[in-house]
Amino acid sequence: MAVITGVTCPVCGTFCDDIELIIENNVIVEARNACAMGAAKFLNYSAHRTKKPLIRKNGELVEVSMDEAVEKAAKILVDANYPLMYGWSNTSCEAIRTGLELGEEVGAVMDNTSTVCHGPSILSVQDVGIPSATLGQLRHRADLIIYWASNPWSAHPRHAERYTMFSDGRFEGSTWKSYLSRLRGVMSRKKIQRASNLVLKQDFCFTPQVEEGLPSSVHQKRRRTIVIDVRKTRTADAADCFFQVEPGTDYELLQALRVLVNDGELDVDEVAGIPIETLEQLADLLVNCKLGIIFFGLGLTMSKGKHRNIDAAINLTRDLNKRTKFLIMPMRGHYNVTGVNIVFTWQTGYPFAVDLSNGYPRYNPGETSAVDILSRDEADATMVIASDPVAHFPRAASKNIAKHPLIAIDPEVTPTTMLADVIIPPAFVGIEAEGTAYRMDHVPLPLKKVVEPPETCLSDQEILQRILQKVRELRRDMN
């Protein structure tokens, strides 16, 4: 039995690095400190994996040697006029670096999953910038935390414990105790509700805080948490107060707050379903905190308004800096989606949707992004790394992926791999292979190798390196 400490969790953007793994006979038997999501990965990652390279021959996937798979993949890429290489947010920066070199060699379009998640946030940053910080800065100093259209309780389970409301910093402490006492209150209300359901056959309606203005707890001299969302989430339950916005009205709410924090007046009764008096109190809260932070999620990025929403949120943050210190951060999903933007940017100048087909980087999201290229059926071959576009892209785009040769480098069986012509299953990076990845706040951390991969599996980086080598050989032979 071996205990390995300080392991990073290759699952979500929280990218916890304090996981302790117990290893027995090259198998992880226990994952301490990990949340359920993280533990599930460490304990079950290998359950349904592919172990050997496969090639489709006469419609059937058949096992082949690594060399044969690599050669086939290289050939597909060399033969293609306009290949697309997509995915990247679940692999190491080292693999991404090699991937970019390969993409450049074959004149590919390089795109990553941010194209369908925080792409609009990135466009906003390119419009107005972003005042932000590392998560520890917020742990130490933030006395006002806002989760806007993001629900860390389910998507980033240890975010609150490690960096925000339940963490202890130099100047601000955990609000765990006050949460517990509130929880007791909620429990008893839930009991009443259940009883009322049983007895009265109808919902007991307890008045949400927002209708009576803000609860007194938000004026206390301690860290406070606010949740703004279209529905009441578990995170909202844990917060000091919750604002329910009508779906699709985030933009109006953000603009209204901008007016209020700039000492303007609003001549309406409510915005986004929230009474103006309550909003005024909220604006006061924003202006009077010592350091505030907005964590926003896909609920804001992907709802009506998209990058306009993020522009407004960042502009609100900019405005607030005239009065106090205020920061903002996107809640990035995949553990290395931040890293892929970073590596793309240092090598090509652009974070995603980079077209290398002209021999130099070209960037025009909406034109050079994966979904658009596929929808126009322009890519005549696709390579997917650690991602599942067939399941997540619009139907037309997915259909066009399947029309042309498809290479999948992925250990898991997914709708994408099921359609692939070449499948090369790699070692799981962060478990069976090492590397580097970036936390959502741009802090780089090592991915560790804690167990040996199956003999037939190489790391993503090694696979890409071999394909690159093969591509160069094929090119040389052609000339």
Partner 1 sequence: MTELIIKNGFVYDPLNRIDGEKMDISIRDGKIVESVKEKANGINASGMVVMPGGVDIHTHIAGGEVNSGRLLRPEDHVKDVEVKTALTRSGVGYSIPSTFTTGYRYSKMGYTTLMNPSMAPLEARHTHEELADIPMVDKAAYPLLGDWWFSLEHIRDGLIEENAAHIAWMLQATRGYAIKIVNPGGLEAWGFGRNVHSLDDVVPHFNITPREIIRGLCKVNRLLNLPHTIHVHTNNLGKPGNYVTAIETMKCVEDLAQGDKPVIHITHIQFCAFKGSDWSTLSSGAGEISKYVNNHNHVTLDMGQVIFSNTTTMTADGPFQYGLYNITGNKWVNHDVETETSGGIVPFKYKRSSAVHATQWSIGLEIALLIEDPWKILMTTDHPNGGPFTSYPKILAWLMSRAAREITLSKINKRARKKSLLPSIDRELSLYELAIVTRAGQAKALGLKPKGHLGVGADADVAIYNIDPQRLDISKEYKVARKAFKKAAFTIKDGEVVVKDGEIVKPVTGKTYWIDVSTSMPHEINDDIKKKFREYWTVEYENYPLPDSFIHSSFPIPVKAEV
Query: Using CB under 8 A as the criterion, which residues of the chain lie in contact with partner 1 when the complex forms?
Result: 5-6, 8, 17-18, 93, 97, 101, 104, 122, 125-137, 139-141, 162-163, 170-171, 290-291, 318, 321, 324-325, 327, 341-343, 345-351, 356, 358-363, 436, 438, 442-446
Q: Which is nearer to ligand SF4, 34 or 457 (CB)?
A: 34
In the complex, least distance from residue 14 CB atom to ligand SF4, rounded to whole angstroms? 4
Q: Which is nearer to ligand SF4, 33 or 278 (CB)?
A: 33
What is the per-residue DSSP string for 159-196? HHHHHSTT---SS----HHHHHHHHHHHHHHHHHHHHH
Q: Which helix (H) or strand (E) holds 3?
A: strand 2-7
CA 59/CA 36 separation, integer angstroms: 39
In the complex, least distance from residue 13 CB atom to ligand SF4, rounded to whole angstroms? 7
- Partner touching 12 among ligand SF4, partner 1, none, CB below 5 to 8 Å by kind: ligand SF4
Q: Which is nearer to partner 1, 127 or 284 (CB)?
A: 127
Beta-strand relationship, 144-148 and 422-423: unpaired
Spatial CB neighbours of 189, under 8 Å, sequence gap ≥ 6 = 206
CA-CA-CA-CA torsion for 261, 263, 267, 271, nearest 10 degrees?
0
Q: Which helix (H) or strand (E) holds 105?
A: helix 93-106
Q: Where are the alpha helices (DSSP H) in 321-369?
A: 337-348
Q: Which is nearer to ligand SF4, 32 or 56 (CB)?
A: 32
In the complex, least distance from residue 445 CB atom to partner 1, rounded to whole angstroms? 5
List residues bridging with 420 in a β-sheet. Answer: none
Q: Which is nearer to ligand SF4, 38 or 292 (CB)?
A: 38
- Partner touching 291 among partner 1, ligand SF4, none, CB below 5 to 8 Å by kind: partner 1
Q: Which is nearer to ligand SF4, 15 or 326 (CB)?
A: 15
Q: Which is nearer to ligand SF4, 397 or 451 (CB)?
A: 451
- Partner touching 158 among partner 1, ligand SF4, none, CB below 5 to 8 Å by kind: ligand SF4
Identify whether the C-beta of residue 331 lies closer than 8 Å to the C-beta of residue 14: no
CA 4/CA 14 separation, integer angstroms: 20
Question: Closest by alpha carbon to 359, among 106, 110, 111?
Answer: 106
Tell me how many degrees the CA angle 289-295-296 measures, rounded to the nearest 5.
130
In the complex, least distance from residue 90 CB atom to ligand SF4, rounded to whole angstroms? 12
Which residues bind to ligand SF4, rule: CB under 6 A?
A: 9, 11-12, 14-16, 34-35, 37-38, 156-158
In the complex, least distance from residue 450 CB atom to ligand SF4, rounded to whole angstroms? 14
In the complex, least distance from residue 97 CB atom to partner 1, rounded to whole angstroms? 7
In the complex, least distance from residue 20 CB atom to ligand SF4, rounded to whole angstroms? 11
- Partner touching 185 among partner 1, ligand SF4, none, CB below 5 to 8 Å by kind: none
CA 430/CA 188 separation, integer angstroms: 43
